[in-house]
Amino acid sequence: MPDAIVVGAGYAGLCAARRLRTAGLDVVVLEAGDRVGGRTCTARLSGGWAVDLGGQWIAPAHTRFTELARSYDAATFTGHAQGDHLLLSTTSRRRFTGELPPLPPHATAVLALALWKLDRLASRTLTTTQAQHLDSITVATWLRCRLPVPQARRLAEAVLGAELSVDVASVSMLALITAIRSADGVGGGVAAETTAALFTHGADGPAQSIAAELGDAVRLNTPVTSIQDTGNAVRVADVQAARVIVTIPPPLAGRIHYDPPMPAARDQLTQRMPMGAALKAFAVYDTPFWRAQGLSGQALDLDGPMTFDASRPGGPGLLCTLATGPAARRLTRLDAPERRATIIRSLIRAYGPRAARPLDWREKNWADDPYCRGGYNAYFPPGVLTSVGSALRTPVGRIHWAGSETATQWAGYIEGAIRSGERAADEVLRTEAKFTEPAVPS
Protein backbone atom coordinates (compact mmCIF):
# COMPACT_ATOMS: atom_id res chain seq x y z
CA MET A 1 0.00 0.00 0.00
CA PRO A 2 1.50 3.40 -1.00
CA ASP A 3 1.63 6.14 1.63
CA ALA A 4 -0.09 8.77 -0.49
CA ILE A 5 -2.07 9.15 -3.69
CA VAL A 6 -1.97 12.31 -5.78
CA VAL A 7 -4.86 13.02 -8.15
CA GLY A 8 -3.74 14.91 -11.25
CA ALA A 9 -0.32 15.12 -12.91
CA GLY A 10 -0.16 18.85 -13.54
CA TYR A 11 2.54 20.92 -11.86
CA ALA A 12 0.71 20.84 -8.52
CA GLY A 13 0.37 17.08 -8.49
CA LEU A 14 3.86 16.32 -9.77
CA CYS A 15 5.51 18.73 -7.31
CA ALA A 16 3.47 17.28 -4.45
CA ALA A 17 4.54 13.76 -5.42
CA ARG A 18 8.16 14.86 -5.86
CA ARG A 19 8.30 16.36 -2.40
CA LEU A 20 6.62 13.34 -0.80
CA ARG A 21 9.00 10.95 -2.51
CA THR A 22 11.98 13.07 -1.46
CA ALA A 23 10.73 12.67 2.12
CA GLY A 24 10.80 8.91 1.62
CA LEU A 25 7.13 8.23 1.00
CA ASP A 26 5.75 5.76 -1.48
CA VAL A 27 3.50 7.77 -3.83
CA VAL A 28 1.11 7.03 -6.70
CA VAL A 29 -0.03 9.77 -9.10
CA LEU A 30 -3.31 9.15 -10.92
CA GLU A 31 -3.81 11.20 -14.08
CA ALA A 32 -7.06 11.12 -16.06
CA GLY A 33 -5.55 12.14 -19.40
CA ASP A 34 -2.88 10.59 -21.57
CA ARG A 35 -0.22 13.19 -20.73
CA VAL A 36 1.27 15.05 -17.78
CA GLY A 37 1.48 18.85 -17.45
CA GLY A 38 -2.14 19.73 -16.68
CA ARG A 39 -2.86 23.22 -17.88
CA THR A 40 0.51 23.43 -19.58
CA CYS A 41 0.44 21.47 -22.83
CA THR A 42 3.13 21.55 -25.49
CA ALA A 43 2.52 20.64 -29.13
CA ARG A 44 5.36 20.01 -31.61
CA LEU A 45 5.59 21.48 -35.08
CA SER A 46 7.52 19.84 -37.90
CA GLY A 47 11.17 20.33 -37.03
CA GLY A 48 10.29 19.73 -33.39
CA TRP A 49 9.59 23.36 -32.50
CA ALA A 50 7.50 23.71 -29.35
CA VAL A 51 4.13 25.46 -29.21
CA ASP A 52 2.61 26.10 -25.78
CA LEU A 53 -1.13 25.53 -26.02
CA GLY A 54 -1.51 26.29 -22.31
CA GLY A 55 0.44 28.13 -19.60
CA GLN A 56 3.84 29.26 -20.80
CA TRP A 57 5.38 32.18 -18.89
CA ILE A 58 8.05 32.08 -16.23
CA ALA A 59 9.01 35.33 -14.48
CA PRO A 60 11.94 36.17 -12.18
CA ALA A 61 9.47 36.50 -9.27
CA HIS A 62 8.40 32.88 -9.83
CA THR A 63 11.11 31.60 -7.56
CA ARG A 64 9.97 27.99 -7.11
CA PHE A 65 9.33 27.56 -10.83
CA THR A 66 12.74 29.09 -11.60
CA GLU A 67 14.47 26.66 -9.23
CA LEU A 68 12.57 23.76 -10.76
CA ALA A 69 13.46 24.84 -14.30
CA ARG A 70 17.11 25.09 -13.25
CA SER A 71 17.19 21.68 -11.60
CA TYR A 72 15.97 20.12 -14.83
CA ASP A 73 18.09 22.30 -17.14
CA ALA A 74 15.04 23.60 -18.97
CA ALA A 75 16.23 26.25 -21.43
CA THR A 76 14.30 29.51 -21.56
CA PHE A 77 14.39 32.58 -23.78
CA THR A 78 13.01 36.08 -23.47
CA GLY A 79 10.03 36.74 -25.72
CA HIS A 80 10.45 39.21 -28.59
CA ALA A 81 9.29 42.62 -27.38
CA GLN A 82 10.94 45.08 -29.79
CA GLY A 83 8.80 47.11 -32.14
CA ASP A 84 5.43 48.76 -31.88
CA HIS A 85 2.43 47.14 -30.25
CA LEU A 86 -1.05 47.51 -31.73
CA LEU A 87 -4.31 48.69 -30.19
CA LEU A 88 -7.24 47.44 -32.24
CA SER A 89 -10.97 47.84 -32.16
CA THR A 90 -13.59 47.03 -34.77
CA THR A 91 -13.02 50.48 -36.27
CA SER A 92 -9.40 51.40 -35.54
CA ARG A 93 -5.78 50.18 -35.63
CA ARG A 94 -3.13 52.20 -33.80
CA ARG A 95 0.56 51.54 -33.16
CA PHE A 96 2.05 52.35 -29.77
CA THR A 97 5.15 51.72 -27.68
CA GLY A 98 5.61 51.26 -23.96
CA GLU A 99 3.28 49.65 -21.48
CA LEU A 100 0.21 51.87 -21.79
CA PRO A 101 -1.80 51.96 -25.04
CA PRO A 102 -2.47 55.43 -26.48
CA LEU A 103 -5.30 57.18 -24.63
CA PRO A 104 -6.14 60.89 -24.30
CA PRO A 105 -4.22 62.42 -21.31
CA HIS A 106 -7.37 62.64 -19.17
CA ALA A 107 -8.17 58.95 -19.73
CA THR A 108 -4.56 57.98 -18.93
CA ALA A 109 -4.73 59.94 -15.68
CA VAL A 110 -8.01 58.29 -14.67
CA LEU A 111 -6.58 54.87 -15.50
CA ALA A 112 -3.44 55.54 -13.48
CA LEU A 113 -5.56 56.65 -10.53
CA ALA A 114 -7.67 53.49 -10.72
CA LEU A 115 -4.54 51.32 -10.86
CA TRP A 116 -3.18 53.12 -7.82
CA LYS A 117 -6.47 52.53 -5.95
CA LEU A 118 -6.35 48.87 -6.91
CA ASP A 119 -2.82 48.55 -5.64
CA ARG A 120 -3.70 50.26 -2.39
CA LEU A 121 -6.71 47.96 -1.86
CA ALA A 122 -4.49 44.94 -2.52
CA SER A 123 -1.76 46.03 -0.14
CA ARG A 124 -3.99 46.88 2.84
CA THR A 125 -5.54 44.59 5.40
CA LEU A 126 -9.26 44.83 4.73
CA THR A 127 -11.83 45.03 7.50
CA THR A 128 -14.61 42.44 7.42
CA THR A 129 -17.03 45.12 6.26
CA GLN A 130 -14.72 46.21 3.46
CA ALA A 131 -14.15 42.62 2.35
CA GLN A 132 -17.88 41.95 2.37
CA HIS A 133 -18.58 45.07 0.35
CA LEU A 134 -15.90 44.24 -2.23
CA ASP A 135 -17.26 40.69 -2.45
CA SER A 136 -20.79 42.00 -3.10
CA ILE A 137 -19.83 43.79 -6.32
CA THR A 138 -18.46 42.64 -9.65
CA VAL A 139 -15.23 43.99 -11.13
CA ALA A 140 -17.46 45.57 -13.81
CA THR A 141 -19.29 47.57 -11.12
CA TRP A 142 -16.05 48.80 -9.56
CA LEU A 143 -14.65 49.84 -12.94
CA ARG A 144 -17.86 51.66 -13.81
CA CYS A 145 -17.59 53.70 -10.60
CA ARG A 146 -13.84 54.28 -10.63
CA LEU A 147 -13.21 54.68 -14.36
CA PRO A 148 -15.82 57.13 -15.57
CA VAL A 149 -13.96 57.65 -18.88
CA PRO A 150 -15.25 55.03 -21.34
CA GLN A 151 -11.99 54.68 -23.29
CA ALA A 152 -9.99 53.99 -20.15
CA ARG A 153 -12.66 51.66 -18.81
CA ARG A 154 -12.85 49.65 -22.01
CA LEU A 155 -9.10 49.18 -21.93
CA ALA A 156 -9.15 48.09 -18.28
CA GLU A 157 -12.04 45.70 -18.98
CA ALA A 158 -10.11 44.12 -21.86
CA VAL A 159 -6.85 43.77 -19.93
CA LEU A 160 -8.44 42.49 -16.71
CA GLY A 161 -10.76 40.17 -18.65
CA ALA A 162 -7.73 38.62 -20.37
CA GLU A 163 -5.87 38.41 -17.04
CA LEU A 164 -8.79 36.63 -15.34
CA SER A 165 -9.87 34.68 -18.46
CA VAL A 166 -13.45 35.74 -17.82
CA ASP A 167 -15.68 38.75 -18.37
CA VAL A 168 -15.25 41.40 -15.65
CA ALA A 169 -19.04 41.19 -15.22
CA SER A 170 -18.66 37.73 -13.67
CA VAL A 171 -15.90 38.16 -11.11
CA SER A 172 -16.04 39.40 -7.53
CA MET A 173 -14.04 42.57 -6.88
CA LEU A 174 -12.65 40.93 -3.73
CA ALA A 175 -11.40 38.06 -5.88
CA LEU A 176 -9.55 40.51 -8.12
CA ILE A 177 -7.97 42.20 -5.10
CA THR A 178 -6.96 38.79 -3.73
CA ALA A 179 -5.45 37.82 -7.09
CA ILE A 180 -3.49 41.08 -7.29
CA ARG A 181 -2.23 40.58 -3.76
CA SER A 182 -1.16 37.02 -4.53
CA ALA A 183 0.85 38.35 -7.53
CA ASP A 184 2.81 41.02 -5.63
CA GLY A 185 0.47 43.89 -6.56
CA VAL A 186 -0.74 45.34 -9.88
CA GLY A 187 2.84 46.12 -10.78
CA GLY A 188 3.92 42.61 -9.87
CA GLY A 189 1.55 40.94 -12.32
CA VAL A 190 2.50 43.35 -15.09
CA ALA A 191 6.20 42.99 -14.27
CA ALA A 192 5.82 39.22 -14.31
CA GLU A 193 4.51 39.43 -17.83
CA THR A 194 6.88 42.05 -19.27
CA THR A 195 9.95 40.35 -17.81
CA ALA A 196 8.68 36.83 -18.38
CA ALA A 197 10.51 34.19 -20.34
CA LEU A 198 9.27 31.19 -22.31
CA PHE A 199 10.61 27.66 -22.41
CA THR A 200 12.53 26.82 -25.55
CA HIS A 201 11.23 23.26 -25.52
CA GLY A 202 7.83 23.97 -24.04
CA ALA A 203 6.50 24.93 -20.61
CA ASP A 204 5.64 21.37 -19.71
CA GLY A 205 9.33 20.39 -19.90
CA PRO A 206 10.03 20.39 -16.15
CA ALA A 207 6.73 18.51 -15.63
CA GLN A 208 7.88 15.83 -18.08
CA SER A 209 11.19 15.60 -16.21
CA ILE A 210 9.52 15.12 -12.83
CA ALA A 211 7.20 12.51 -14.34
CA ALA A 212 10.21 10.67 -15.77
CA GLU A 213 11.81 10.63 -12.31
CA LEU A 214 8.59 9.32 -10.75
CA GLY A 215 8.47 6.60 -13.40
CA ASP A 216 5.82 3.93 -12.86
CA ALA A 217 4.36 5.90 -9.96
CA VAL A 218 2.55 8.07 -12.54
CA ARG A 219 -0.43 6.24 -14.01
CA LEU A 220 -1.92 7.92 -17.08
CA ASN A 221 -5.44 7.35 -18.43
CA THR A 222 -6.76 6.79 -14.91
CA PRO A 223 -9.69 9.16 -14.29
CA VAL A 224 -10.69 9.35 -10.65
CA THR A 225 -14.45 9.18 -10.26
CA SER A 226 -14.72 8.35 -6.56
CA ILE A 227 -12.76 8.73 -3.33
CA GLN A 228 -13.63 6.76 -0.25
CA ASP A 229 -12.31 7.82 3.15
CA THR A 230 -12.70 4.84 5.47
CA GLY A 231 -11.32 6.73 8.46
CA ASN A 232 -8.17 4.58 8.46
CA ALA A 233 -7.25 5.00 4.80
CA VAL A 234 -8.41 6.43 1.52
CA ARG A 235 -9.38 4.37 -1.48
CA VAL A 236 -9.05 6.02 -4.91
CA ALA A 237 -9.68 3.97 -8.06
CA ASP A 238 -8.14 0.60 -7.05
CA VAL A 239 -5.43 2.14 -4.88
CA GLN A 240 -5.45 2.49 -1.10
CA ALA A 241 -3.22 4.86 0.86
CA ALA A 242 -2.99 6.84 4.08
CA ARG A 243 -3.65 10.22 2.42
CA VAL A 244 -4.72 11.69 -0.90
CA ILE A 245 -3.94 15.09 -2.42
CA VAL A 246 -6.53 16.23 -4.98
CA THR A 247 -4.90 18.75 -7.34
CA ILE A 248 -7.48 19.04 -10.14
CA PRO A 249 -9.44 22.31 -10.60
CA PRO A 250 -12.10 22.85 -7.88
CA PRO A 251 -15.15 22.45 -10.16
CA LEU A 252 -13.80 19.09 -11.37
CA ALA A 253 -12.82 18.06 -7.83
CA GLY A 254 -16.51 18.71 -7.07
CA ARG A 255 -17.51 16.10 -9.65
CA ILE A 256 -15.71 13.31 -7.84
CA HIS A 257 -18.05 11.13 -5.81
CA TYR A 258 -16.93 11.25 -2.18
CA ASP A 259 -17.86 8.67 0.41
CA PRO A 260 -18.67 10.00 2.97
CA PRO A 261 -20.01 13.05 1.12
CA MET A 262 -18.14 16.35 1.39
CA PRO A 263 -19.21 18.77 4.16
CA ALA A 264 -21.74 21.34 2.93
CA ALA A 265 -19.26 24.24 2.81
CA ARG A 266 -16.73 22.35 0.68
CA ASP A 267 -19.40 21.03 -1.67
CA GLN A 268 -20.99 24.44 -2.08
CA LEU A 269 -17.57 25.98 -2.71
CA THR A 270 -16.86 23.64 -5.63
CA GLN A 271 -20.32 24.47 -7.00
CA ARG A 272 -19.37 28.17 -6.83
CA MET A 273 -15.95 28.13 -8.56
CA PRO A 274 -16.39 27.82 -12.31
CA MET A 275 -13.54 27.73 -14.83
CA GLY A 276 -12.92 30.73 -17.05
CA ALA A 277 -12.97 30.35 -20.82
CA ALA A 278 -9.74 30.48 -22.84
CA LEU A 279 -8.77 29.53 -26.37
CA LYS A 280 -5.27 29.65 -27.78
CA ALA A 281 -4.54 29.44 -31.51
CA PHE A 282 -1.14 29.53 -33.21
CA ALA A 283 -0.55 30.54 -36.82
CA VAL A 284 2.82 29.31 -38.06
CA TYR A 285 4.74 31.24 -40.76
CA ASP A 286 8.17 30.67 -42.30
CA THR A 287 9.53 33.73 -40.47
CA PRO A 288 8.30 36.30 -37.92
CA PHE A 289 7.58 38.65 -40.83
CA TRP A 290 5.90 41.33 -38.69
CA ARG A 291 9.23 42.23 -37.10
CA ALA A 292 10.43 43.70 -40.43
CA GLN A 293 7.40 46.03 -40.28
CA GLY A 294 8.62 47.27 -36.90
CA LEU A 295 5.86 45.41 -35.07
CA SER A 296 6.27 43.45 -31.86
CA GLY A 297 3.51 40.98 -32.62
CA GLN A 298 1.64 42.15 -29.52
CA ALA A 299 -1.85 43.42 -30.24
CA LEU A 300 -4.70 44.22 -27.91
CA ASP A 301 -8.10 44.08 -29.56
CA LEU A 302 -10.74 45.83 -27.46
CA ASP A 303 -13.43 43.82 -29.25
CA GLY A 304 -11.67 40.51 -29.54
CA PRO A 305 -8.64 38.39 -28.73
CA MET A 306 -5.05 39.47 -28.08
CA THR A 307 -2.07 38.32 -30.09
CA PHE A 308 1.61 38.00 -29.30
CA ASP A 309 4.80 36.72 -30.85
CA ALA A 310 5.59 33.21 -29.62
CA SER A 311 8.40 32.44 -32.09
CA ARG A 312 11.35 30.44 -30.74
CA PRO A 313 14.81 31.88 -31.49
CA GLY A 314 15.83 30.51 -34.90
CA GLY A 315 12.42 28.89 -35.37
CA PRO A 316 9.44 29.65 -37.58
CA GLY A 317 7.26 32.72 -37.07
CA LEU A 318 4.57 32.04 -34.50
CA LEU A 319 1.64 34.37 -33.84
CA CYS A 320 -0.36 33.34 -30.82
CA THR A 321 -4.00 34.43 -30.57
CA LEU A 322 -5.35 34.31 -27.04
CA ALA A 323 -9.11 34.66 -26.65
CA THR A 324 -10.74 34.68 -23.22
CA GLY A 325 -14.26 35.03 -21.81
CA PRO A 326 -16.84 36.26 -24.34
CA ALA A 327 -14.26 36.39 -27.19
CA ALA A 328 -13.38 32.73 -26.57
CA ARG A 329 -17.06 31.84 -26.47
CA ARG A 330 -17.79 33.60 -29.76
CA LEU A 331 -14.92 31.77 -31.46
CA THR A 332 -15.79 28.35 -30.07
CA ARG A 333 -19.34 28.60 -31.36
CA LEU A 334 -17.87 28.46 -34.89
CA ASP A 335 -16.74 25.24 -36.53
CA ALA A 336 -12.97 24.75 -36.89
CA PRO A 337 -12.53 26.11 -40.47
CA GLU A 338 -14.71 29.15 -39.74
CA ARG A 339 -12.86 29.82 -36.50
CA ARG A 340 -9.51 29.64 -38.25
CA ALA A 341 -10.76 31.97 -41.01
CA THR A 342 -12.08 34.45 -38.44
CA ILE A 343 -8.82 34.53 -36.50
CA ILE A 344 -6.77 34.87 -39.69
CA ARG A 345 -8.91 37.82 -40.78
CA SER A 346 -7.94 39.53 -37.50
CA LEU A 347 -4.28 38.69 -38.06
CA ILE A 348 -4.43 40.18 -41.58
CA ARG A 349 -6.01 43.34 -40.20
CA ALA A 350 -3.19 43.61 -37.65
CA TYR A 351 -0.17 42.33 -39.61
CA GLY A 352 -1.09 42.62 -43.27
CA PRO A 353 -1.69 40.15 -46.12
CA ARG A 354 1.32 37.97 -45.29
CA ALA A 355 -0.70 36.67 -42.35
CA ALA A 356 -3.22 35.16 -44.77
CA ARG A 357 -1.55 31.81 -45.39
CA PRO A 358 -0.03 30.18 -42.31
CA LEU A 359 1.99 27.03 -42.98
CA ASP A 360 0.53 25.30 -39.98
CA TRP A 361 -2.19 25.84 -37.38
CA ARG A 362 -2.55 24.66 -33.80
CA GLU A 363 -5.31 25.51 -31.38
CA LYS A 364 -6.78 24.42 -28.09
CA ASN A 365 -10.09 25.41 -26.56
CA TRP A 366 -9.64 24.62 -22.90
CA ALA A 367 -13.38 24.37 -22.22
CA ASP A 368 -13.41 21.35 -24.55
CA ASP A 369 -10.65 19.59 -22.62
CA PRO A 370 -12.50 16.86 -20.70
CA TYR A 371 -10.12 17.16 -17.74
CA CYS A 372 -10.08 20.97 -17.49
CA ARG A 373 -13.39 22.14 -18.97
CA GLY A 374 -12.16 25.73 -19.06
CA GLY A 375 -9.10 27.87 -18.52
CA TYR A 376 -6.92 29.33 -17.26
CA ASN A 377 -8.39 28.95 -13.77
CA ALA A 378 -11.48 28.69 -11.68
CA TYR A 379 -12.68 32.14 -10.64
CA PHE A 380 -14.69 33.49 -7.72
CA PRO A 381 -18.10 35.01 -8.54
CA PRO A 382 -19.37 37.59 -6.01
CA GLY A 383 -20.31 36.39 -2.55
CA VAL A 384 -18.23 33.20 -2.65
CA LEU A 385 -14.94 34.10 -0.95
CA THR A 386 -16.64 35.60 2.10
CA SER A 387 -19.15 32.76 2.52
CA VAL A 388 -17.45 29.44 1.72
CA GLY A 389 -13.95 30.56 0.69
CA SER A 390 -12.39 29.10 3.83
CA ALA A 391 -13.14 25.58 2.53
CA LEU A 392 -10.68 26.02 -0.36
CA ARG A 393 -7.59 24.63 1.38
CA THR A 394 -9.06 22.98 4.49
CA PRO A 395 -8.34 19.24 4.43
CA VAL A 396 -11.38 16.97 4.81
CA GLY A 397 -10.44 13.85 6.74
CA ARG A 398 -7.61 12.22 4.80
CA ILE A 399 -8.17 14.38 1.72
CA HIS A 400 -5.91 17.38 1.03
CA TRP A 401 -6.34 20.03 -1.67
CA ALA A 402 -3.84 21.56 -4.04
CA GLY A 403 -3.88 23.16 -7.50
CA SER A 404 -3.04 26.71 -8.57
CA GLU A 405 -6.39 28.06 -7.30
CA THR A 406 -5.44 27.05 -3.77
CA ALA A 407 -2.12 28.93 -3.74
CA THR A 408 -1.69 31.91 -1.42
CA GLN A 409 1.01 33.35 -3.69
CA TRP A 410 0.81 33.44 -7.48
CA ALA A 411 -2.58 31.74 -7.52
CA GLY A 412 -3.53 31.12 -11.13
CA TYR A 413 0.07 30.85 -12.30
CA ILE A 414 2.26 27.75 -12.75
CA GLU A 415 4.23 29.15 -9.80
CA GLY A 416 1.07 28.92 -7.68
CA ALA A 417 0.45 25.34 -8.80
CA ILE A 418 3.96 24.33 -7.73
CA ARG A 419 3.70 26.07 -4.36
CA SER A 420 0.26 24.59 -3.68
CA GLY A 421 1.52 21.07 -4.39
CA GLU A 422 4.48 21.50 -2.09
CA ARG A 423 2.27 23.00 0.64
CA ALA A 424 -0.16 20.07 0.42
CA ALA A 425 2.76 17.61 0.54
CA ASP A 426 4.00 19.32 3.72
CA GLU A 427 0.49 19.00 5.19
CA VAL A 428 0.56 15.26 4.51
CA LEU A 429 4.04 14.90 5.96
CA ARG A 430 2.87 16.51 9.20
CA THR A 431 -0.08 14.12 9.59
CA GLU A 432 1.68 10.94 10.61
CA ALA A 433 4.74 10.47 12.77
CA LYS A 434 6.06 7.70 10.54
CA PHE A 435 6.24 10.17 7.62
CA THR A 436 8.78 12.36 9.39
CA GLU A 437 10.77 9.78 11.32
CA PRO A 438 13.88 8.59 9.53
CA ALA A 439 13.35 5.11 8.11
CA VAL A 440 15.01 2.31 10.04
CA PRO A 441 17.89 1.08 7.90
CA SER A 442 17.11 -2.43 6.65
Q: Considering beta carbons, is residue 63 or 89 the nearer one to a copy of itself?
A: 89
Q: Considering beta carbons, is residue 166 or 306 the nearer one to a copy of itself?
A: 166
| Inter-residue contact 291 to 310 (CB < 8 Å) | no
| d(C-alpha 248, C-alpha 9), whole Å | 9
CB of residue 278 to a copy of itself, shortest distance in Å: 11
CB of residue 319 to a copy of itself, shortest distance in Å: 24
Q: Considering beta carbons, is residue 171 or 344 the nearer one to a copy of itself?
A: 171
| d(C-alpha 72, C-alpha 17), whole Å | 16
Q: Edge-to-edge, what's the strand order for the sheet holding 239-241?
A: 239-241, 234-236, 226-229, 257-259
Chain residues binding a copy of itself by CB under 8 A are 132, 135-138, 140-141, 166-171, 225, 251, 254-255, 257, 261, 264-265, 267-268, 271-272, 274-275, 277, 325-326, 329, 332-333, 365, 367-368, 370, 373-374, 381-384, 386-388
CB of residue 32 to a copy of itself, shortest distance in Å: 11
| d(C-alpha 88, C-alpha 300), whole Å | 6
Q: Considering beta carbons, is residue 189 or 276 the nearer one to a copy of itself?
A: 276
| Inter-residue contact 283 to 356 (CB < 8 Å) | no
| d(C-alpha 428, C-alpha 432), whole Å | 8
SS3 62: coil
Q: Please name which of 71, 155, 50, 69 lies closest in space to residue 112, comparing C-alpha atoms.
A: 155
Q: Considering beta carbons, is residue 61 or 140 the nearer one to a copy of itself?
A: 140
CB of residue 135 to a copy of itself, shortest distance in Å: 6
Q: Considering beta carbons, is residue 200 or 387 the nearer one to a copy of itself?
A: 387
CB of residue 31 to a copy of itself, shortest distance in Å: 17
Burial of 117 (0-12, 13-18, 19+ CB in 10 A): middle
| d(C-alpha 233, C-alpha 299), whole Å | 52
CB of residue 2 to a copy of itself, shortest distance in Å: 25
Q: Which amino acid is at 399?
A: I
Q: Considering beta carbons, is residue 251 or 317 the nearer one to a copy of itself?
A: 251
CB of residue 327 to a copy of itself, shortest distance in Å: 11
Peptide bond into 413 cis (omega under 30): no
